Amino acid sequence: MHVNVGGLCPTMIVVGGKGVRSGFLFKCLVGTMAVVGAGGCGGGGNSNVLGGVASMAYISQDAVEPGNVFDYTNGGAHGNIFTLTPPTASGAKKNLTNWDNASINSMDVSFDAREIVFSAKAPGDSNYHVYRVNVDGSNPCDAVTGVVSQGACQITDGGNDEVYPIYLPGGRIYYATNKNVEGAEVPQFRDEYERATTAQAASMSLDGSDQVLGPRNVSHRVSPALLPDGRILTTEWRHLGDTNEGDLVTMNQDLTGVRESFGREGKSVANSHLRATWAAPGRLVAIGTSRDRTFQAGALVLIDQGGTDITTQSEARSSEIVLTPDVPLDRSPSFVGVGRYYDVRTIDYGKMKFLVSWSDGTVETETLTAAKASPDFGIYVYDANSKTRTPVVNEIGTWEFGAIPIAVRAEPPALKNSFVATNNGSGTTASTLLSAINVYDSTMFNLTPGSAVKLRLSEGFSSEEGAPNMFGLSDFDGMSLLGETDIQNDGSYKALVPPNVPVRQQLIDKYGMAVTTTGQGGDTASEPLWIQGRPGEARVCGGCHEDRTKSIQLTPGSSALQALGAAAFDYPGQTRQQRQSTDYTPGNVRGVPWDKALQPIFDAKCVSCHNGQAGPANPSYSITFGDMSTFAWTFDLTGRSVDVMVEKSTYTYSASHISLLGPAQLTREKTILAQTGQLIGYVEPGSAHDSTLIQKLNPMRRYPDVDGNDLAFPGKPQHPADVGGTPLTADEYYLMILMADNGGQFYSRENIKGY
């Protein structure tokens, strides 16, 4: 239904102060109602709320619960793309797609404003694919061959999804897909919860040919936008350990050079930022919200990237302000007159005017569903100065979102990675080169020069390789050691790693543990961050989270850019499945399967005392839960399979794993009524240094050579030698430390079922 409100609109909508509109959800399609901040609702005013832009495009489809902010396959039904020309109440509305039951994911308008690229699940289709349509509704693919036809043309097909397409310079399209760059037979990563298949970066030509699949994050990359300087901005689901948030990253058009943009240094006020777009030099607008339950909607936020261009931008100096201060940043229900915003584009930054999709009232899934209601997103112009909204289009019974002015915009320059890693002189390598000029150069960590002796590189993966739903009693995903390389005297390092693979870097000390430090980065120099590169890409940084504004001079041919002399952790010719331990000695160990790599150590040196028999060596505890059920446990380092009511224990965890990892999980149960004994998390996943187990074992110096007289925790006893037991060997310490630093998982590639 096309409603021309005019005099029907009961009053203006004002947020945060004067003239607050109350009440009910009303429907407006008003282009002439530009009475903002002056009270009342009436005609007159600017005849074009988009500042003279002739037309705009938007998506209309049914209401839906779309899932968390990263979900891309739960779009609403009955989706179509419309243009409104001019974008006023009297404008002509044209349906470009004319589908009877499609789901539209998102769209973009070309630089010349002649066509639209979009992702949709067409009627009867199983997947989202990419389509193009001219803004006049004609078929651009046929037009190339001289055929005149109407409707969208499809440029991708197959059994994968292709979503979030945007135009790139040079006749290309960026999009996200769950197709795996590693090949058809290798399952794509699953998300943080080991559930949804992740969407990864990709690009292709306008006609759907020449597809390029980018290096992968461990989880999704969604809702991209192109910045005027040519970089791609996208939201990345960041999870490593208990980190779980949606942050902004940028990358080059050739999918190289993925770099943090915003959200990773404690600057953000919301868990996730999505649908970010450019607002002004060094400024982005985005939706800031909870990860879930808000219909992927939230507050409007303005992000200062810390500088006006890439040479001065630094997430360390970034900040954000909330443009809609009454809108909750978490998942609590929003109020009438406040609502939540689904997307945003800048109309006039100087005047702080934005084209948004907004729904009034409660925009929170639980509350609305209980009331048997849905949010009603419509398109508005938001004035951040006056905190007012001017309706543009809002149809009864459907959502309108994704609005884009159909206007010519400058085509940014094509950007490519300027670095190419080379091998030892025999040609370009297909691996990725990681290197740093000086690891002690950091804005996040206070690192003592000389404290790091090696850099540990590990690859990440998820349960698609055949692991059960969890890798163990910790929040960490699968991790597998690629190798450890020396930190040179000047603080530099370089190493080749497999391309397209998410890699974690950890500085390690002379005891083999992740380096302890102070500073805003945490107490270990192990930022919870995955990095990755394309084949042949060199990822060179100044330091470990160095000042991004500092100029790093690298001359062509610089040794830092060459693979010459780099540690070879790239395993050429091996699939990721094949990167497994040949044995569990240093140099050969990759994953640390608990039952195969660690249990033999417990059996040989621990279980003679720590055998589950209650006593001084085996403390007990019990917990009474809210439902009056109880759980009792006695410390036990044997490898017996335990099927007890530690809720996740049915994955055949050993008693030793439950003893060392289990208590930390139990303390998270919020219905504990009472407990006896002490619950100790003996392993702090991700930090050997902070793990009680490692502190008790008190490892000896490992680098540059083994020294049993130099202990990691001076003055403390070394267990089990302190009670007459057989000391652990240096290699056994190595395995214990690697297990703790890499997450404390029970499962790794070496012991997962399914292979």
Considering only residues 461-480, where is the footprint of another protein by CB under 8 A? 463-466, 468-470, 475
Q: Where are the beta strands (DSSP E) in 294-446?
A: 299-304, 319-322, 340-348, 353-359, 378-383, 388-393, 399-405, 432-436
Indicate whether 621 belongs to the interface with another protein (CB under 8 A).
Answer: no
Nearest distance from residue 38's CB to another protein, in Å? 27
Q: 84 or 329, CB closer to another protein?
A: 329
- Give the residue carrying structure tokens 């998506």: 59
Among 223, 290, 305, 362, contact with another protein (rule: CB under 8 A): 290
Going residue by residue from 517 to 536, which x/- string records binding to another protein, judged by CB under 8 A?
---xxxx-------------
Instruction: Tell me the pairing of strands 153-154 and 162-168.
Output: unpaired
Among 44, 124, 146, 573, contact with another protein (rule: CB under 8 A): 124
Residue 704: asked if its preceding bond is cis (omega within 30°), the reply is: yes
Among 100, 185, 583, 705, contact with another protein (rule: CB under 8 A): 185
Indicate whether 394 belongs to the interface with another protein (CB under 8 A).
Answer: no
Among 21, 231, 273, 293, contact with another protein (rule: CB under 8 A): 293
Query: DSSP per residue over 647-661, as a string?
Result: TTGGGT-BHHHHHHH
Of 88-117, binders to another protein (CB under 8 A) are: none
# residues contacting another protein (CB under 8 A)? 100
Contacts of 275-279 with CB under 8 Å at 24 or more apart are: 275/223, 275/225, 275/235, 275/342, 275/343, 275/344, 276/223, 276/225, 276/233, 276/235, 276/248, 276/303, 277/225, 277/233, 277/344, 277/345, 277/346, 278/225, 278/227, 278/228, 278/233, 278/346, 279/346, 279/349
Indicate whether 157 belongs to the interface with another protein (CB under 8 A).
Answer: yes
**Are the CB atoms for 34 and 392 separated by under 8 Å?**
no
Nearest distance from residue 580's CB to another protein, in Å? 8
Choose the stretch contacting another protein; rule: CB under 8 A; options: 82-90, 91-99, 321-329, 336-344: 321-329
Indicate whether 153 belongs to the interface with another protein (CB under 8 A).
Answer: yes
Of 67-86, binders to another protein (CB under 8 A) are: 67-68, 74
Nearest distance from residue 419's CB to another protein, in Å? 26
Among 20, 37, 45, 207, contact with another protein (rule: CB under 8 A): 207
Tell me which amino acid residue 56 is: M
Q: Which of 553, 546, 506 is nearest to 526 (CA)?
A: 506
- Give the residue carrying structure tokens 């006593």: 615
* Cα 625 from chain centre: 35
Among 93, 259, 648, 719, contact with another protein (rule: CB under 8 A): 648
- Backbone phi and psi for residue 662, each to the nearest 5 degrees, phi listed first: -60, -45
Nearest distance from residue 323's CB to another protein, in Å? 12
Distance CA(442)–CA(313), nearest Å, equals: 16
Q: 126 or 555, CB closer to another protein?
A: 126
Indicate whether 16 belongs to the interface with another protein (CB under 8 A).
Answer: no
Going residue by residue from 557 to 576, which x/- string records binding to another protein, judged by CB under 8 A?
------------------x-
- Backbone phi and psi for residue 750, each to the nearest 5 degrees, phi listed first: -75, -20
Instruction: Tell me the pairing of strands 272-280 and 212-213.
Output: unpaired
Q: 260 or 484, CB closer to another protein?
A: 260
Nearest distance from residue 560's CB to another protein, in Å? 29
Indicate whether 148 belongs to the interface with another protein (CB under 8 A).
Answer: no
**Are the CB atoms for 240 and 482 separated by under 8 Å?**
no
Of 264-283, binders to another protein (CB under 8 A) are: 266, 268-271
Indicate whether 65 belongs to the interface with another protein (CB under 8 A).
Answer: yes
Torsion, Cα 294 298 304 310, to 10 degrees, reads 50
